[in-house]
């Protein structure tokens, strides 16, 4: 199936590695061009080079907590590629710990980046999108069911899922779609770190896989393919929903 991605242009945040980078790979493989951002300049440079260099990908070192970042990304898309068709808004996971054990400063930092940074990016990108544009928010299965030991994520992700639904209603009449994506256990650096933090990563992984109907953690490319489809014209009647990419781990219908 042709997803209709040829020569379309997408902004992806938090995309020097992990789920954002996996999505960028899928988009570029189907003919799209991308503007990547992440906080570390060396990782951004390596990611853009591996995606084909300036003909296919450009990168900006930036933090979503910075209010100027979304505007810079929109400008980069227009200046380098002459258009903008959508965005994948992904932010690194907040610090682990229970909601009660995380201090005020950690909550504040996570809110500024994970929550407000995402909302600001959605608002800025949506204002620049034509009809047919799409925005995907990378959230977490914690938007539907709390994940033990990830209290900050459990607090912020459900709110972002509500924001995604709200803005999908607002931007829908303009033909702009907004979809939330709920990754479960995908083998990114984040999940490797969470497994390692238990002191017995092999056992932690086995216990996690036992709770997944497919009995394995996912590969980032499996998320990337879903995200690329959601952003593509092929998904033109999807908006205002949250899509789990979790191997069946969520138990709700």
62-75 pLDDT, tens digit per residue, is: 999 999 999 999 99
Residues 121-174 pLDDT 10s? 999 999 999 999 999 999 999 999 998 888 999 999 999 999 999 999 999 999
Q: Does residue 120 belong to any structural domain of this protein?
A: yes
Q: Does residue 195 belong to any structural domain of this protein?
A: no
Determine the Cα–Cα distance for residues 213 and 138; give it in Å rounded to an integer. Answer: 22
Determine the Cα–Cα distance for residues 17 and 39; give it in Å rounded to an integer. Answer: 11
Determine the Cα–Cα distance for residues 137 and 178; give it in Å rounded to an integer. Answer: 8
Residues 14-72 pLDDT 10s? 999 999 999 999 999 999 999 999 999 999 999 999 999 999 999 999 999 999 999 99
First-to-final CA distance of the chain = 28
Domain count, the chain: 1
Q: Does residue 4 belong to any structural domain of this protein?
A: no
Residue 139, domain extent: 9-187+221-241
Q: Does residue 65 belong to any structural domain of this protein?
A: yes
Residue 100 sits in a domain whose CATH number is 3.40.50.720
pTM for the model stands at 0.95
Q: Does residue 252 belong to any structural domain of this protein?
A: no
Q: Does residue 250 belong to any structural domain of this protein?
A: no
pLDDT at site 247:
97
The stretches of 82-150 forming alpha helices (DSSP H) are 104-110, 118-128
Residues 96-118 pLDDT 10s? 889 899 899 999 999 999 999 99
Over the range 167-189, which residues count as b (16 or more CB within 10 Å of their CB) and which as e? bbeebeeeebbbbbbbbbbbbbe
Q: Does residue 1 belong to any structural domain of this protein?
A: no
Residues 177-232 pLDDT 10s? 999 999 999 998 888 988 888 899 999 999 999 999 999 999 999 999 999 999 99
């Amino acid at each position: 199936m042709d997803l209709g991605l040829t020569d379309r242009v997408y902004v992806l945040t938090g995309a020097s590695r992990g789920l954002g980078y996996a999505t960028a790979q899928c988009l570029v493989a189907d003919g799209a061009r991308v503007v990547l951002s992440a906080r570390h300049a060396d990782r951004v440079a390596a990611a853009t080079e591996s995606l084909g260099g300036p003909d296919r990908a450009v990168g900006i070192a930036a933090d979503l907590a910075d209010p100027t970042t979304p505007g810079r990304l929109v400008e980069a898309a227009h200046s380098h590629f002459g258009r903008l068709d959508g965005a994948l808004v992904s932010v690194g996971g907040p610090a682990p710990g229970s909601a009660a054990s995380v201090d005020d400063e950690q909550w504040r930092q996570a809110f500024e980046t994970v929550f407000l940074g995402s909302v600001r990016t959605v608002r800025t990108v949506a204002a620049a999108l034509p009809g047919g544009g799409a925005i995907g928010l990378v959230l977490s299965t914690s938007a539907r069911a709390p994940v033990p030991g990830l209290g900050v994520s459990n607090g912020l992700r459900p709110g972002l899922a509500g924001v995604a639904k709200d803005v999908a209603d607002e931007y829908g009449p303009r033909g702009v779609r907004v979809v939330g994506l709920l990754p479960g256990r995908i083998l990114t650096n984040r999940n490797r770190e969470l497994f390692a933090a238990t002191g017995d990563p092999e056992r932690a992984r086995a216990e996690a896989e036992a709770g997944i109907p497919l009995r394995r953690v996912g590969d980032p490319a499996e998320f990337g393919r879903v995200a690329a489809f959601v952003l593509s014209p092929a998904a033109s009647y999807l908006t205002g929903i949250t899509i789990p990419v979790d191997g069946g781990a969520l138990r709700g219908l």
